[in-house]
Amino acid sequence: MTGVKKSMEWDHRVYKALLRALAPMPPHVKSKVVQRVISYVEDYAKRLGAGKVEFEHLYNASKELLRDKDRYMLDALLEALRAEGFSVPE
C-alpha cells in the first residue's frame, strides 16, 4: 500500500494480515485507518522494547485500539491472522 509509513520492521505475515483485514474498507478512509493502526502497534511494540513488530504486538495492540466500537475491524483482523497461520484465541 502506497503512502503508508512504517518506522519499524514488521514480520511479513503480520503486515500482510493487517492489510488483508483492512482491504474491504472504502479507499477514501483506508490509508488513514491503516496508518493509525500501524502507528499504534509500533508504539506498543516500542514500549515493550521490541525491534520488530510481531504477531503478539499486532494482536494485543489491536485489542486495545479497536475495542467495542470497531469490533468488526478487530474480527476481520483476527480472521486475517488466522488465515496467515497464526494461532488466535476465539
pLDDT digits (tens, 9 = 90+) for 60-70: 998 888 776 67
- φ/ψ of residue 10, rounded to 5: -125, 145
How far, in Å, CA of 17 to CA of 69, rounded? 21
Would 89 be classed as within a structural domain?
A: no
Closest by CA position to 2, among listed 39, 27, 26: 27
The whole-number pLDDT of residue 68 equals: 63
Residue 1 pLDDT > 70: no
Residue 11 pLDDT > 90: yes
State pTM to two decimals. Answer: 0.80
Q: Is 86 left (phi over 0), alpha (psi -120 to 50) or beta?
A: beta
Would 90 be classed as within a structural domain?
A: no
Would 3 be classed as within a structural domain?
A: no
Contacts of 68 (CB under 8 A, 6+ apart): none
Would 4 be classed as within a structural domain?
A: no
Would 32 be classed as within a structural domain?
A: yes
pLDDT band, very low/low/confident/very high, at 71 (cuts 50, 70, 90): confident
Tell me which residue range forms the domain holding 42: 9-83
Q: Total domain count for the chain?
A: 1
CB 17 within 8 A of CB 88: no
The whole-number pLDDT of residue 49 equals: 97
Residue 39 pLDDT > 90: yes
Site of grid cell 483485514: 21
Would 88 be classed as within a structural domain?
A: no
